[in-house]
Every structure is written in structure tokens, then in C-alpha cells.
Amino acid sequence: MCSEGLSGDPAEAFVFLADTVRRAPQRPPPGKALGLFLFNSASIRGSRHASVGSYTKRMPVSTSYSSDSPTEHHQDQLLASKGRGVEAAQRMAELFSQEMQLQDLLEQALHIALEAADAENGSILLADPDTRALIFHHSIGENPAASGIAVPWHESIAGAVYTTGMPDIVSDARADVRHFKKVDRATGSITRDMITVPLKGWDGAPIGVIQVMNKRGNACLNHDDLAVLTIISTLTAVALEHMSLN
């Protein structure tokens, strides 16, 4: 049985920060300055243990709890969730300050995603408009998928996320009719739960998706994991677009 993730301030705040990066008025600058640009665009500064309120003040969400105020333990969980997001964003920004090939950068981004979500497998799929399919570009984890495997847009969770531009959390992939089981058969893996997040270019158009599967332990991937993965997917998409222009 999956345990529920936290909801509220951290998740909503990091989705907002990711959107801030993508909607910045200028394209990313060349070279190593890209990492600093991304770091500053999201306005992530100072200690990762800063108060949740410092982020939620910019969000159009209620922060009043009245009689349903969270316990001290719950507050600690909220801060821990926010801390994971800040750390992931910092690590992603650091990647851009290093000289590396795109494949190496994508692999490192997936490692950050798996560590942040405590999940078994992760993949980046890029769109091929000619075949109307998403192609596995990079995959890591316990049962990675081979590069080049094609996933049709019209019969997969990845395809639904790509075509709608909306992320999706699936707590029971085997019961979801959209689940493309051919990948499981090819990898020998059994996908239990997954989060799929669109990769969007600077203009907001989707270019692919990032997927993370099978949270470890007695838990499912949840909205707090989605918040962190939204940051990672946004910065990964910026890297893909930046490197395609050079």
C-alpha cells in the first residue's frame, strides 16, 4: 500500500519556481554562465533550510490552517520536502557550470532525479514528429531501457503527457490502460508507479518527457516528488534547447 505524500506549500512553490525559469523573458546565455542564470532565475538563494513561507508568499495559495494546523512533525516534513527541491535545483545549476557532453549531462540529471525521488529507474524520451513517437534517449537505474525504443504518442502515459503538456502521477501502472507494457517486457522490469513530466522548450512547446518509476520502500511517487521533478525537467529542457543552439 502506498503512503501519501505531502501536499501544499513546497510542491506548489517549486512548480512556480520551475515555471519562472521557463518563462524568463530572455533565452539562456551561452557557456558556463547558464548555470548561474538558472540559479538566479528561480530566485533560489541562501540556506535550503529557510522557512517555507519565504517561497509561498509568491504563490496564490492559502497558508492559513486554522484548526487543521499541521503538527510540528508535519512541518518538519514540509521543510524536508522543500529542502530536497532546493538541493536538486542547486545540483542541476552546478551541472551547467561544467564542461560536459549532452549525454553526460542528461545522465547526471537523471541521477539527481532518482536520488531526489528515491526511485529505481528514470528515463528521458524525446519526440520524433515524423513517426509520432517518443524515443528513449537516455535511461538509467536497475532496469534501464535501451536507447532507441519507440513509444507511440497515442497509446502510452508518456504520449499523453507529451501531447497535453501536463504531468501525470500514476500510482498503479499495471492497472492503467495507457501503460505501454512493451517497455517492461524489453527491460524485464515491472513498473509499479511512475511520474511523467513534460520537457518543454523555451517557447513552452513540448520536446519530450522525463519519467521516474518505482519509488523504493512502502510508498508511491507523489506530489512532493513531482515538485522536485518539475524543477529537474525544466532545467533539463533548458539544457537540451541550449545545446541544440550551439
Q: Whole-angstrom Cα distance, residue 229 to residue 195?
A: 8
Query: What are residue 217's DSSP bridge partners?
Result: none
Q: Which residues contact 73 (CB under 8 A, 6 or more apart)?
A: none
The beta-strand segments (E) located in 3-143 are 119-128, 133-141
Enter the C-alpha cell of residue 134: 517518443
Each residue of 134-173: pLDDT tens digit? Answer: 999 999 999 999 999 999 999 899 999 999 999 999 999 9
Instruction: Give φ, ψ of 182 to 5 degrees.
Output: -60, -30
Each residue of 82-111: pLDDT tens digit? Answer: 666 677 777 877 776 777 788 888 899 999
The separation between CA 16 and the C-alpha centre of its own chain, rounded to angstroms, equals: 13
Query: What are residue 212's DSSP bridge partners?
Result: 122, 195
Regions in the chain scoring below 70 on pLDDT: 1-85, 96, 243-246
Q: Whole-angstrom Cα distance, residue 2 to residue 225?
A: 14
- The confidence score (pLDDT) of residue 151 equals 96
